[in-house]
Every structure is written in structure tokens, then in C-alpha cells.
Amino acid sequence: MKLKIKPNSINLVFMGTSNFAKKILASLLEREYNITAVYTQIDKPVGRKQEVIPTPVKHLAQKNKIKVFQPKKFDKQEIEKLKEISPDLIIVADYGKILPPEVLEIPTFNCLNVHASLLPKLRGPSPIQNALWKGKRKTGVTIIIMNENIDTGDIVSQKEQNISKYDTFLTLEQKLAELGGDLLVQTIPLWINQKIEPRQQDESKATLCQLIERNDGRIFFEKTAKEIYNQYRALYPWPGIFAFWNDRETLKRIKFIKISYNKNNPSEKFPLGKVFKEENTQKIAVQTGQGIIYLEKVQLEGKFAFMIEEFINGYPHFIGSILK
């Protein structure tokens, strides 16, 4: 039976903030969905200059001349504004705010959330980083009906995504955003026309995400090289991984911008955190609890990032030191 609904006949509101959400929004725009309003987080200062810039979603919405709302919270006044827009459907993707029950009740066809994991696994914030940090080989995207709890709603659709050993947060985010956008535009007509039977999540398989903070990038060298490499993949480019180096009696933070690893120890196992030049490869390596990590690009606090060869030219005493 042919679907009755046309994409541009749906009065849709989109809520999102990040690059992941921007790609989801772009997929809806490409299919000419009628997006009457976009909600996103308040603009925040970023970078060293602390320049205030619009969120990725706001930037795309303004480019397409869509009205943008950035409420601090959904108080009575904001809820009334949303009711006046009268959405048939609300799509949420990495918005960063919890919607109150009064908002969830507004759209005729519910609020659907596009979540970057195979729910019920990795509920909560940072599912992409957590999948990489845990060394998972597979993740995916799940579209659920939102309820008052976080990521516990019934599943409407779901699709898997393999994780490459070379994926970092940036590459996996892009893959999942493309997957999520495609899945969403396939799901909406089926959902509106009641062609999908939602299914409950299996609570026995539920896991939670760790919230990512800046200090989570600290390296502990008793971990294995593979664990540290997974930490790097998960936290690249933000907040990045780092250690501390005692540079001539001054403790400095050093960020590892690019690394690789060998799960095997060298012929001579060094103390944890010891920086050395590997004999057979001449690569600059650091000893871990099991195996070694190779430093390819580093950045000393307050300095520019350098390839490791250039860095060693300026700081030859780095070799032989022990990082903490």
C-alpha cells in the first residue's frame, strides 16, 4: 500500500546542537521536510580567543532561513511558544537538554530521538566516545519515542554500524550521522502512517555512558597500549589525551595529538611512562603496562603542535624522561 503522507506536509520541529545533529538536520532538508522551527543550545565561547559562535545546527538553520529558538529552559512561556508552532512531530538529535513532559505531549506523532548507539546499550551522553573507548567493533543508531527518562523509550527503528580500528570520534561521528539521517528519513513516513510497531528496550542489556570531561584525557601508563590508543580515538579531537613531563624541574602538560601503538613490549621493557627510541624502527615510543605507544605529533602546553621529530630537535632531553 502506498504511503499517504508527503514529507513537506509534516509540520516538523527539530532540536539539536552538535555536528552530529547538523547532519541529521541536513538530511531532513535534503528531503524537503517542512521544518518550521529549530531549537538549539545557547551560543558559547570557544577556542583560545573565546569567540562566541553559533552552534552547528543554528548555522545550518540560519543558512536555510529557519526560525531558531535558544531557550535556557522550557518554562511556561517557552512551552506556550512551542504550542503555537503546533508541530506534528519533533525530532531530537544530540540537543543537550532534557525535555519536560509538557513538551513531549505537544506533537501529534510524538517526539522521536536519534541516538548514536544500539540502545539499550550506551544510554546517555557521549555514546560515540564511549563505544570507541571501550574498544567496541560495532555500534549504530537507534530512533526511539522519547519519554520522561533518558534514552529509555520504545524503539522505532535501529541500524548497525561497524567500527574501524582507525576510527576516531570525528570519523565515527560522521558515519553515524549519515546513517542516522538516512534511517530517519526512511522511518518518518512509516511512523506517521502507523506502519511501525515500536518495541520495548530490553532492560537486562542496558548500559550507561560515561560523561566526558576535560580531565578524562589524562593517561595512566599502567594501562595497556591498546587501552590508551582507544582512549586517544575516543577523545580526539576534544579533550585529547595528555600526560605530564618534568622539563628541567618544571612540570608541563604535554598533549598527544597523534599516536599509534604496538601491543607487544620491546625486547627490553622500560619503566612505565619512559620515553625511548625504539631500536628497530627508530620511532619515539612510551612504555605502557603492556606494549608501547608511538608518538607521532605532540603539543607542549602554551606551544604549537609539532611532529615528534621536530619536537625532539627542540627538546632532545625528552628522550629518556619518564612521563607521569
Report residue 235: phi and psi, to 5°: -105, 15
Residue-level pLDDT at 248: 87
Q: How confident is the model at residue 296 (pLDDT cuts 50, 70, 90)?
A: very high
Q: Which CATH architecture has domain 214-318?
A: Roll (3.10)
pLDDT tens-digit readout, 237-293: 999 999 999 998 899 999 999 999 999 999 888 999 999 999 889 999 999 999 999
Q: Domain segments of the chain: what residues? A: 7-205, 214-318
1: pLDDT strictly greater than 50 = no
4: pLDDT strictly greater than 50 = yes
19: pLDDT strictly greater than 90 = yes
Q: What's the rounded mean pLDDT across residues 193-222?
A: 96
Residue-level pLDDT at 7: 62
Beta strand 11-16 pairing with 34-39:
parallel
Can you give the chain as a three-state secondary structure string? CCCCCCHHHCEEEEEECCHHHHHHHHHHHHCCCEEEEEECCCCEEECCCCEEECCHHHHHHHHCCCCEECCCCCCHHHHHHHHHHCCCEEEEECCCCCCCHHHHCCCCCCEEEEECCCCCCCECCCHHHHHHHCCCCEEEEEEEECCCCCCCCCEEEEEEEECCCCCCHHHHHHHHHHHHHHHHHHHHHHHHCCCCCCECCCHHHCCECCCCCHHHHECCCCCEHHHHHHHHHHHCCCCCEEEEEEECCEEEEEEEEEEEEECCCCCCCCCCCEEEECCCCCCEEEECCECEEEEEEEEECCCCEEEHHHHHHHCHHHCCCECC
pLDDT tens-digit readout, 37-65: 999 999 987 766 778 889 999 999 999 99
All three cell numbers of 75, joined, read: 518554562
Report residue 322: phi and psi, to 5°: -115, 120
Q: What's the rounded mean pLDDT across residues 62-81?
A: 96
All three cell numbers of 196, joined, read: 511501525
Q: 7-205 and 214-318: same fold?
A: no
Q: Are 259 and 242 in contact (CB under 8 A)?
A: no
99: pLDDT strictly greater than 70 = yes
pLDDT tens-digit readout, 220-232: 999 999 999 999 9
Which of the following CATH numbers is that of domain 7-205: 2.60.120.330, 3.40.50.2030, 3.10.20.30, 3.40.50.170?
Answer: 3.40.50.170
Q: What's the rounded mean pLDDT across residues 172-190?
A: 97
Q: How confident is the model at residue 5 (pLDDT cuts 50, 70, 90)?
A: low
Global pTM value: 0.94
What is the radius of gyration, based on Cα positions, of the chain? 23
What's the whole-number average pLDDT of the chain? 95
